[in-house]
């Protein structure tokens, strides 16, 4: 269903709010089947939703006593039934007609509609339910992966042996369970840290082997636990939908649409100081390679203000300034170089590789822009992945970021042939996302936000923390490890966690 989107002033909007339902004269022509409109004040987010019931031509003589957007230029009159303030809708929520990506004064477009459904793939399989009932009767509590295996043996084994098996499994699980007050964090730190020392040396051998140079080894691991805003080599793995994944031609086309192309990538810019003009000369080979023609360049030039351009011939465009100035001419030349023609911002390069195990084309990119790529036609949004953890957090949420941290750390370690127990990595990723945002391990993150003053002071920048605590009158209940070591008490771990209370008998 089409909707109308337009920009308006705050004053007009408040007028409509006061008078609705009312007739409103606008300065553009719209199709007659529209029943819904959105208003923006800043061209980026739409804050008001209106329902429109009547559309007619503006007639100067008969239409009086109505509201005007711009009085002299009125073309159409619409009847606004109601207007209400809504949560900001960004312009990316709409698909504008004529392939426009931004709004000038008005636009007709389609609203994206998504059917939101909860994902619920997992149900306890029927065969497992018997086992779970068995376990409950005996007071055992096993992980589901163990239950799954036991279900198989329940059928095969005679009851007495099955009973024995359950007992034995329970014994083994109890033996391996973490005890209360066990210092799992320290064990995880050591278990990841020790293999890390071996990684340092091996990194050099692996650098540069991969086609698309991606940071590996220890530098990458540090990047992950530091929760850097931008990784040093952001890269995406893009999976394609059914129609695209086996069609080489379509994949080629998609790559060209993905790669961010600026004018300098396909043309030469020649400055003529005597004539105060710039000439864009399209490079035939480069532009063919990137599937760009001269009309694409002209479309890009439309967005630059204060210039007059003329197409000289098939490969040259002459640009002049509206107000002549050498400074502006120089600025314009720099501006033209980076003016994007097409493609997704931040995606520098994309290559396709045919995966023989799953029989499909997979795209790998340099640079990452998950939000925009997910909405491109042909991209399978459910599998597409980036190695930028912060971006995943922003686009897919904190739980996805937690999985991404685990996945990246696991991949980095296993790529080097190191075998770190998965549980340590899970603990790290859980701790990093505990607060609802990805926090680094270190001064800025987990350690820097401990509640105890002494623990923070013992870690880094001692004087700053103590001074601030003194000013604010902070209290330290001495419940952690570092604090108790400082004051010389047993730490609250393992056996030190127990308090003995003696209740004397009355005589």
Which residues contribute to the site for other proteins (CB under 8 A)?
Answer: 93, 95, 112-122, 143-148, 374-375, 377, 381-383, 385, 392, 394-400, 403-404, 407, 422-423, 426, 430, 433-437, 439, 449
**What is the C-alpha to C-alpha distance for residues 252 and 254, in angstroms, rounded to an integer?**
5
For other proteins, the closer of residues 298 and 426 by Cβ is: 426
Q: Does residue 412 sit in helix, strand or coil? A: helix
Phi-psi region of 31 (alpha: psi -120 to 50; beta: other; left: phi over 0): beta
Angle at which helices 217-226 and 184-206 pack, to 10 degrees? 140
Closest approach, Cβ 98 to other proteins, in A, equals 15
For other proteins, the closer of residues 198 and 435 by Cβ is: 435
Closest approach, Cβ 309 to other proteins, in A, equals 32
Closest approach, Cβ 92 to other proteins, in A, equals 8
Closest approach, Cβ 302 to other proteins, in A, equals 24
CA distances to 10, 319, 425 from 402, in Å: 42, 51, 10
Cβ-based neighbour number of residue 104 at 10 Å: 9
For other proteins, the closer of residues 63 and 415 by Cβ is: 415
Alpha-helix residue ranges (DSSP H) falling in 157-261: 159-176, 184-206, 217-226, 242-245, 248-258
**What is the C-alpha to C-alpha distance for residues 236 and 399, in angstroms, rounded to an integer?**
19
**What is the C-alpha to C-alpha distance for residues 207 and 200, in angstroms, rounded to an integer?**
12
For other proteins, the closer of residues 56 and 84 by Cβ is: 84
Cβ-based neighbour number of residue 302 at 10 Å: 9
Nearest to 416 by CA among 203, 193, 225: 203
Closest approach, Cβ 162 to other proteins, in A, equals 20
Closest approach, Cβ 398 to other proteins, in A, equals 6
For other proteins, the closer of residues 45 and 403 by Cβ is: 403
- Planar angle of CA 328, 316, 255, nearest 5 degrees: 95
Closest approach, Cβ 260 to other proteins, in A, equals 20
Closest approach, Cβ 413 to other proteins, in A, equals 13
Q: For residue 491, what are the contacts with CB-CB under 8 A and spacing of at least 6? A: 481, 484, 485
For other proteins, the closer of residues 281 and 422 by Cβ is: 422
For other proteins, the closer of residues 20 and 398 by Cβ is: 398
For other proteins, the closer of residues 150 and 292 by Cβ is: 150
**What is the C-alpha to C-alpha distance for residues 324 and 273, in angstroms, rounded to an integer?**
11
For other proteins, the closer of residues 104 and 118 by Cβ is: 118
For other proteins, the closer of residues 165 and 376 by Cβ is: 376
**What is the C-alpha to C-alpha distance for residues 321 and 500, in angstroms, rounded to an integer?**
86
- Planar angle of CA 489, 182, 142, nearest 5 degrees: 160
Cβ-based neighbour number of residue 495 at 10 Å: 7
Nearest to 367 by CA among 213, 207, 208, 206: 213
Environment class of residue 37 by beta-carbon count within 10 Å: exposed (0-12), middle (13-18) or buried (19+)?
buried
Nearest to 227 by CA among 37, 404, 53, 108: 404
Closest approach, Cβ 39 to other proteins, in A, equals 20
Closest approach, Cβ 332 to other proteins, in A, equals 35
Closest approach, Cβ 305 to other proteins, in A, equals 31
For other proteins, the closer of residues 287 and 433 by Cβ is: 433
Cis peptide bond N-terminal to 21, omega within 30:
yes
């Amino acid at each position: 269903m089409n909707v109308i989107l337009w920009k308006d002033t705050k004053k007009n909007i408040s007028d409509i709010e006061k008078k609705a339902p009312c007739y409103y004269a606008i300065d553009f022509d719209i199709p007659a089947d529209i029943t819904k409109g959105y208003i923006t004040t800043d061209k980026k987010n739409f804050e008001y939703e209106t329902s429109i019931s009547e559309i007619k031509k503006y007639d100067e003589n008969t239409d009086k006593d109505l509201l005007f957007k711009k009085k002299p230029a009125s073309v159409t009159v619409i009847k606004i039934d109601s207007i209400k303030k809504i949560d900001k809708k960004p312009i990316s929520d709409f698909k504008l007609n004529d392939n426009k990506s931004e709004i000038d004064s008005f636009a007709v477009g389609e609203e994206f509609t998504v059917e939101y459904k909860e994902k619920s793939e997992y149900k306890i399989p029927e065969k497992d339910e018997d086992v779970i009932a068995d376990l409950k009767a005996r007071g055992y509590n096993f992980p589901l992966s163990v239950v799954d295996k036991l279900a198989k043996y329940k059928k095969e084994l005679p009851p007495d042996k099955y009973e024995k098996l359950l007992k034995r499994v329970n014994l083994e699980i109890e033996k391996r369970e973490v005890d209360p007050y066990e210092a799992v964090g320290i064990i995880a730190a050591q278990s990841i840290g020790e293999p890390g020392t071996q990684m340092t040396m091996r990194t050099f051998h692996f650098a540069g082997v991969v086609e698309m140079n991606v940071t590996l080894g220890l530098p990458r691991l540090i990047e992950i636990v530091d929760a850097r805003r931008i990784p040093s080599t952001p890269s995406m793995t893009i999976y394609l939908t059914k129609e695209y994944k086996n069609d080489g031609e379509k994949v080629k086309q998609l790559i060209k649409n993905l790669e961010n192309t600026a004018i300098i990538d396909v043309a030469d810019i020649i400055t003529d100081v005597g004539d105060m003009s710039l000439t864009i000369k399209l490079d035939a080979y480069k532009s063919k390679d990137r599937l760009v023609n001269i009309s694409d360049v002209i479309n890009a030039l439309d967005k630059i203000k204060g210039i007059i351009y003329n197409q000289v011939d098939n490969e040259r465009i002459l640009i002049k300034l509206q107000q002549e100035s050498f400074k502006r001419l120089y600025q314009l030349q720099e501006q033209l170089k980076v003016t994007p023609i097409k493609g997704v911002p931040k995606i520098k390069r994309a290559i396709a590789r045919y995966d023989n195990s799953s029989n499909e084309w997979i795209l790998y990119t340099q640079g990452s822009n998950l939000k925009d790529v997910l909405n491109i036609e042909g991209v399978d949004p459910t599998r597409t992945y980036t190695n930028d953890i912060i971006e995943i957090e922003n686009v897919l949420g904190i739980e996805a970021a937690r999985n991404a941290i685990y996945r990246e750390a696991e991949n980095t370690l296993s790529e080097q042939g190191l075998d770190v127990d998965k549980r340590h990595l899970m603990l790290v990723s859980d701790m990093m996302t505990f607060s609802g945002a990805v926090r680094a391990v270190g001064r800025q993150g987990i350690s820097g936000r401990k509640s105890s003053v002494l623990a923070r002071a013992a870690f880094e920048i001692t004087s700053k923390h103590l001074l601030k605590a003194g000013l604010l009158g902070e209290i330290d209940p001495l419940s952690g490890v570092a604090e108790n070591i400082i004051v010389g008490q047993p730490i609250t771990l393992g056996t030190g966690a127990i308090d003995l209370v003696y209740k004397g008998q009355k005589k």
